[in-house]
Structure 1
Amino acid sequence: MARRTAVSALWAEDGVEVIESAQHRGRDEIEARITAAHDEFVRGAGFVFRSAGDATGHHDTITFTTHMVPAGGGDIAWTGRAFVVLGPDGLIRSDHQFTVPTGDTRSTVEDFLRRLAEGDPDRIAEVFAEQVDWVLDWPAEGHPAVPWIRPRSTRADVADHFRTIAEFHVPGEAAGSAARILVEGNEAVVLGDIRQTAKATGKAYTALCALHLVVEDGLITRYAVYEDSLTVAEALSCS
């Protein structure tokens, strides 16, 4: 009953959903399609669907990306992009869905950010190529309070980088946000912030940052980070 109510509230009576293999026209067919997908993927296989947070639109059209992931955590199993057309009454007239190929730039970057939030250094490193062009906005001599900020060049270096960061911060208090992900071809820019609490000083800090990533064959080959390094250094300095 709740599903039928939701379909009626969102879809026009003659609305149509178009996927690669079929069309579903009218509320009855759309409800049946949603029920079948829920039974197969959610109830049956234990997946959940999560928004990529990239919804945008104009002139009664909306496009957005969604990921199908294991409810208990794990790799993205499927990524889809939808193009939705609304009627004058705000109800959905049509919804065209497209499967996003695995390894495209946006899905790779979103996978990296999801693994970064999970905090496992080895799983983070798996998204990187064996050889990485690692670019830092940081003096070559480094800073004694932040030893993880130094040149890197391999996948093993990437794991060590994120492992060392964790060692210098309070567990469970790491957070951050990606306000914008801009993609053009195989390059992406991520704009956001990092929030941590330093173990040595107990100081909590928020540092603005930007990442410039290059993705080739589903792996990150260039990682350039530009961050508020002064805020990081001050938070970790005991003096």
Structure 2
Amino acid sequence: MTSNLISRYVAVWNEPDPTARRRAVAELWAEDGVQYTETAEHHGHDALQARVAGAYDQFVAPGEFAFTAADDVVTHHDAVTFTTHMVPATGGAPVWSGTLFLLLGADGRIRRDYQFTGTEAGTRAVVTEFLGRLAGGDPDRIAGLFADVVDWQLDWPEAGHPAVPWIRERSTRADVADHFRALNAFHGERGATTPRILVDGRDAVVLGEIRQTVKATGRPYAARCALHLTVEGGLITRYHVYEDSLTVAQAFTG
């Protein structure tokens, strides 16, 4: 029931037909339902209809953006919370994210709708998109999430290591693409454990374990790692990696 509610909630913001949109608003919110944003209140079906229509006309109708929901729903008695994103219609990282907190009535319709637009939701959205692109392996798509200038640091001696030439100083978006291109050149099968993402404002820490295969020898290896990422303006500006570098070097030197 909750997943259906969230699907319908997101769909109404993308609905192009005014009649269908008005009907969906009446089915989602109670007659005295209210949405609270950080700067406004929208009371009742007429105000909610105007609110949804305004967002559609501004963001969705021109064909630039669409609204989606993250897979992070939490329910507690008559309360539901989840994250929504506004993403480019052609795909890519969210340009806006918000956390929704809904209080439902006995009939399952929304009585109170609190929308929080915060830095942490945006940070988590960009980091999640980055991990998805990282799994896809396309260096240019990965680099597209980075700022023009990046604070780049890997947990290696400044002189580097001859067995892992891709690990060196980087500072630009082009460098980022080159880094992941080199990773692809030296590795065969690549994977990772399900990461844990910790977010504090603009900063995020990703904890996990990488599992890769040396392309030249077919030797598999696994190494624990942590990423410290900073997101500003929807782009990654800091990329600090702390990994089990000894395991990586041994995999390539035998």
Q: TM-score, normalised by structure 2?
A: 0.62
CA drift at 1:225: 0.9
Contact 2:93/2:126 (<8 A) preserved: no
- 2-side partners of 1:203 and 1:83: how far apart? 48
Which amino acid is 2:203 matched to?
E
Structure 1: give runs of 5+ residues left out of the alignment.
none
1:213 aligns with 2:229: yes
- Superposition map of 1:123-162 within 5 A: 123-126=141-144, 127-136=146-155, 138-148=156-166, 150-155=167-172, 156-162=174-180
Structure 1 residue aligned with 2:197, among 174, 181, 186?
Answer: 181
Report 1:59-74 matches (<5 A). Answer: 61-69=79-87, 73-74=91-92
Assess, with a 3 A threshold, how the Cα gap between structure 1 residues 68 and 216 changes in structure 2: closer, same or farther: closer
1:223 is displaced (CA, Å) by 1.8
Identical residues among aligned pairs (%): 55
Tell whether the 8 Å contact from 2:150 to 2:236 is kept in structure 1 after alignment.
no
User: What amino acid maps onto 2:153 in structure 1?
Assistant: W
Quick one: structure 1 residues 201 and 57, their matched pair in 2 at CA, closer, same or farther if it must change by over 3 Å?
farther
Structure-2 separation of matches of 1:24 and 1:177? 45
Give the length in aligned residue pairs. Answer: 232
Please state which structure has a larger fraction of its residues in helix: 2
The runs of 5 or more residues in structure 2 that have no matched partner are 1-6, 9-23
Q: How far did 1:176 drift?
A: 3.5
- The alignment status of 1:237 with 2:252, answered yes or no, reads yes
Whether the 8 Å CA contact 1:178–1:190 is kept in 2: the answer is: no
Instruction: Give the deviation of 1:63 after TM superposition.
Output: 3.1
Q: Hey, what does 2:14 align to over in structure 1?
A: none
TM-score (normalizing by structure 1): 0.65
**Corresponding residue for 2:17?**
none
Give the letter for the 2:252 counterpart.
S
Secondary structure of 1:220's partner?
A: strand
Between the aligned partners of 2:162 and 2:194, the Cα distance in structure 1 is: 28
Mapped to 2, the partners of 1:69 and 1:147 lie a distance apart of 36
Amino acid at match of 2:192: G
**Relative to structure 1, is the Cα distance of residues 238 and 180 closer, same or farther in structure 2, using a 3 angstrom cutoff?**
closer
* Larger CA deviation: 50-59 vs 106-115: 50-59
